Structures are given as C-alpha cells and as structure tokens.
Amino acid sequence: MCLAVPGRILSIAEADGTVMADVDFGGVHKGVCLQYVPDAAIGDYVVVHVGFAIQRLDEKSAQDTLANFERLGILEEEFGDGFSRAAKQAGAES
Amino acid sequence: MKYLDEFSDPDLAGHLVEAIHAATTRPWAMMEVCGGQTHSIIRHGIDQLLPEGVEMIHGPGCPVCVTPLEIIDKALAIAAEPGVIFCSFGDMLRVPGSSQDLFVIKSAGADVRVVYSPLDALAIARENPDKQVVFFGIGFETTAPANAMTVYQAKRLGVPNFSLLVSHVLVPPAMAAIMESPRCRVQAFLAAGHVCSVMGTAEYPPLAEKYQVPIVVTGFEPLDILEGIRQTIIQLESGQHELANAYPRAVRAEGNPAAIAMLQDVFEVTDRTWRGIGMIPKSGWRLSERYAAFDAERRFDVAGIRTEESAICRSGEVLQGLIKPNECAAFGKQCTPRNPLGATMVSSEGACAAYHAYRRLDLVSS
Ligand code: SF4
C-alpha cells in the first residue's frame, strides 16, 4: 500500500473543481488527482500513490520502473482486486 | 550471487555489489525504514549479497503493521454498525483485531468495500446519501496527502455522510525513538523515498547530527536499494554522518509544497501509539479542529473499546529490528499468512510476511 507507481498523463479534466487526469500505468488506466502537481501536463510522467500524483518523474526512469514492476507482477498487486486477494489469503495457504 | 540475474540490470547490480564489497572493512548494521524496502530486500535476496557482517535491520515502516490495535478494533465496531459502508485499502482486511478482522466482519454481512483511492470512498458517499460512509485513513506521510485532500473535498462539497477514521504515523519521530532505545544497534538509516517525495528532507539533518548516523534517502527498486547501501557504507567507513539523497529522481529537498500546505490545514500533530512498539510522542497526525465534523471517532461512539493483543506475537520486536521474523517461535507454525497472529504477517510490506513468502520457509522446518 505504500507503493507509488509511475504513470503517463493521457488527458486532464476538471471535476467538481478538482484537477483530475486519466493516467496510463503500463496499460492500466486510472483516474488520478493532479492537485499536488499543478504544473504537470499531458504526456508527463508522475509518481502516483493511492490515486494522487505526488511528484513528477522523467520519462526514462518512469519507463524503466514500469517495465520492472510489470516483470515482477507488482502492477497486478497494486491495481488488482484487493478483496479477492484477501479472500485468497484467508483460504489458500501459501 | 545467485540472485543477480533477477535484477532489471544485472551488470549494474553487479557493479554496485562489488563497490559495496570493496568499500567495506568492518561489520555494520543499518536499518531500512520503509516496509516497501524490506519487501524488496527479502524478495531479491539483497541481504545475502552483502559482505559478511553487514546487516540489514528491518524497520517499522509498514503502515498496516503499526496501525494501533485500538484503531483496528474501532474500525471493526464501526464497520459492523447498520447503515455504514466501511471503505478501506485492501491490505487492512486481514489485519487481526482483538478477536476478528474486516474480512470476517464482511463475510458476516457488513458492507466493507475495498477502494483504490480515498476519493473512491468520497464518491461512494455521494452516491449513498442515506448511508454513513467511513474511510479508514491510515498510512505514513506518503498517504496522508490523499486522505487530507479527500476530507478537504468532503467539506468543500458538503458531503455530510462522509467521515475519516484517521491513524496517520510519522517517520522521523519513529527514527528518533529507535535511536533512543537502550537496545538500539542501528548505525545508519536508509530513509523512505516516497515519504521524502512529499515531505522533503529538511527533517533529517538534525537527526543525523544528534544521533551521529548517516541517513540516505533511498528508493524501492533493487538497484535503488543497492545504491542507498553503497552510499551508506561509504559514509560509515569514513566516519561521516550526513543526509544524502540517493533517490533524486523522485525526491526534492523541499518535497511537495502543495501537499505540505494541505497537510498543515487538515491535520495536527498528536502522540500516537504504534502497534507492537508503544506510544511515541508527536509521531502522528489527527484531524485538526477545522475538520472535526468529519472525524469518525467523534461521529461514532467507539470510546471504551477494550483491546487484547496476541500473547505469542513478537511483532513489536520485529518492528524495532530486535529480532528477525524467523526467530519468533510461532513463525510459519501457529502464525502464517492464512492465520496471522500479528499484522506483520499480513501486509506484503510486513517483515514476517516477506520472510514467509520468499525464501525463509527453509528456516521454518529446521
Ligand atoms: S511470525 Fe507471527 S506471531 Fe511471530 S512476530 Fe511475526 S506476526 Fe507475530
């Protein structure tokens, strides 16, 4: 849960007075709040934690990290279904 | 070096490991503060790549693990009330309370929902005006800006049926508490990268000076951790004790000013009990008076809850780096991810869970 994942801003729109973006995390798209990185623009990479961008990141290191996370299955862990994961833990001995 | 081929760049990893070996002349013990770093170290066997005598002590930086039992029991009591939709990050579902966990409560019929972001919980509140929607706001400084913005929005948009059960914890006071302990063996810290992305690095030079320890801001990927260890060893070997930033691509000295301003508006510093560790003065945030109307502890009558911790679990010692998980007699026996006795066996950032998942199973049967 402390994980922060880099993603690329696809589009920016205002919702209820808040700057929100559609962000691509290696194929997974999520709505992300941009209020804390007011200078971020479409095409920029940002570090996202629980739906909030907390810093900008350069493209190369963002892509390296994403490739790494994908290889290790971390994206699935972060964006997968948290409830079924807990159910699996409760029922299936690892 | 059997693990090196699993690194994203094995050559670079090899160079960093060589540099660490070349620089090391003595035994050293350093603590990685963040649970994400602990997970990475165990998963990739980084501790086994280090020179003989260089020890990684696993720190208390797993927010799920240190959330106090009393707050877990309050969460369970609130979630079980009729008319409540209780929203949480998925990691909290199996954290043991005194007698149950959120997963069990949900199976018994409570409306417990896993959300990706606290803003999802606010949206649920707006869609269900006849229900009380509570979000379980835990975490370190990395997560706090998300929860702060959500409460700010709830107030600004006027969402009266939303509230936050808050138990935020702060990293620098915990580092100070670890150094003050008479049993402390820590000689240096790898500081938590994303905490510093938010807060910046200004809080650390005074700690480095007071306790004469190098503090190196470090990321979470294996190569980042090796670089953090390399910089730490170089400082230790030359008798330095300074703040260094080994994660500059995501951490600026000033942190994130917009997030810090929001945190100062929404939260105020409070004493906080850390599960397994005890009370650490001024080590947490609670909602400030301006947002008291959105405080779930005030909205629901949950005072007077009685807690009972497992008598067997030694997670407090694990969290302070005093024992390794496999030194606990219950590890892998009475205590497994399926039947966790302590929170450190639940979260993927918890040291017990990481040891159990990755390669310390051989130690269980021996
Ligand atoms: S192995 Fe289980 S019982 Fe032992 S310290 Fe870890 S969580 Fe507690």
Nearest CA in chain A to B123: A16
Q: Which of B85, B116, B147 to mutate to test the interface with A (most CBs of A within 10 A)?
A: B116
How many angstroms separate the Cα of B226 from the Cα of each of A49, B44, B45?
A: 23, 11, 11
* Crossing angle of helices B204-211 and B171-180, rounded to 10°: 0
Q: Do A3 and B220 touch (CB under 8 A)?
A: yes
Residue nearest to atom 7 of ligand 1 (CA): B342
Quote the CA–CA distance of B260 and B145 in Å, as a whole number.
Answer: 8
Q: Do B252 and A55 touch (CB under 8 A)?
A: yes
Residue nearest to atom 8 of ligand 1 (CA): B313
Quote the CA–CA distance of B22 and B271 in Å, as a whole number.
Answer: 43
Judged against a pLDDT cut of 60, whether residue A93 lies above it is answered with: no
Q: What pLDDT is stored for residue B243 in this prediction?
A: 98
Q: What pLDDT is stored for residue A2 in this prediction?
A: 62
For B:149-208, CB contacts with A below 8 A are 149, 153, 156-157, 192, 194, 197-198
Q: Do B120 and A51 touch (CB under 8 A)?
A: yes
Residues of B in contact with A28 (CB under 8 A): none
Residues of B in contact with A68 (CB under 8 A): 8, 221
pLDDT of chain B, 366 residues: tens digit per residue: 446 777 778 888 899 999 999 999 999 999 999 999 999 999 889 999 999 999 999 998 889 999 999 999 999 999 999 999 999 999 899 999 999 999 999 999 999 999 999 999 999 999 999 999 999 999 999 999 999 999 999 999 999 999 999 999 999 999 999 999 888 999 999 999 999 999 999 999 999 999 999 999 999 999 999 999 999 999 999 999 999 999 999 999 999 999 999 999 999 999 999 998 899 999 999 999 999 999 999 999 988 888 988 889 999 899 888 899 999 999 999 999 988 999 899 888 899 999 998 865 554 443
Q: Do A55 and B8 touch (CB under 8 A)?
A: no
Cα B99–B100–B105 angle (5° rounding)? 145
Cβ-based contacts under 8 A for chains A and B: 134
Minimum-distance ligand 1 atom for the alpha carbon of B352: 6
Nearest CA in chain B to A80: B116
B321: left (phi over 0), alpha (psi -120 to 50) or beta: left
CA distance B249 to chain A (A): 6
- Cβ distance B216 to B232 under 8 Å? yes
- Cβ distance B333 to B313 under 8 Å? no
What is the A6 CA–ligand 1 centroid distance (Å)?
A: 33
Q: What pLDDT is stored for residue A1 in this prediction?
A: 59
Q: What is the DSSP string of B55-93?
A: EEEEEEE-HHHHS-HHHHHHHHHHHTSTTEEEEE-GGGT
Q: Do A1 and B91 touch (CB under 8 A)?
A: yes
Q: What pLDDT is stored for residue B3 in this prediction?
A: 62
Instruction: Report the relative pairing of strands B215-218 and B188-192 from DSSP bridges.
Output: parallel
Residue nearest to atom 2 of ligand 1 (CA): B335
**Which regions of B267-352 does DSSP assign to beta strands (E)?**
267-274, 278-287
The pair of three-digit structure tokens given for residue B30, joined into one six-digit string: 């350093």
- Spell out which residues line ligand 1, taking CB within 6 angstroms: B 312-315, 318, 325, 328, 330-331, 335, 341-342, 344-345, 352
Q: Which of B325, B315, B312, B334 is nearest to B358 (CA)?
A: B325
B362 interface with A at CB cutoff 8 Å: no
Residue B154's identity, in one-letter code, is A
Residue nearest to atom 1 of ligand 1 (CA): B331
Contacts of B10 (CB under 8 A, 6+ apart): B4
Residue B178 has a CB neighbour count (10 Å cut-off) of 24
Nearest CA in chain B to A53: B146
Q: What pLDDT is stored for residue B365 in this prediction?
A: 41
Q: What pLDDT is stored for residue A76 in this prediction?
A: 76
Dihedral, CA of residue B140, residue B36, residue B188 and residue B68, to nearest 10: 40
What is the B107 CA–ligand 1 centroid distance (Å)?
A: 25
Residue A45's pLDDT band, with cuts at 50, 70 and 90, is very high
CA distance B161 to chain A (A): 18
pTM: 0.92
Q: What pLDDT is stored for residue B84 in this prediction?
A: 98
B265 interface with A at CB cutoff 8 Å: no
Nearest CA in chain B to A46: B250
Dihedral, CA of residue B154, residue B89, residue B62 and residue B295, to nearest 10: 30
Quote the CA–CA distance of A52 and B152 in Å, as a whole number.
Answer: 14
Task: For each of the domains in chain B, give its residue range(s) and CATH number, in order of start.
Answer: 5-64+173-235 (3.40.50.11750), 66-170+255-299 (3.40.50.11740), 315-357 (no CATH)
B123 interface with A at CB cutoff 8 Å: no
Q: Do B250 and A57 touch (CB under 8 A)?
A: yes
Task: For each of the domains in chain A, give its residue range(s) and CATH number, in order of start.
Answer: 5-89 (2.30.30.140)
Q: Do B194 and A2 touch (CB under 8 A)?
A: yes
Q: Which of B233, B264, B298 is nearest to B74 (CA)?
A: B298
Residues of B in contact with A35 (CB under 8 A): 149, 258, 262
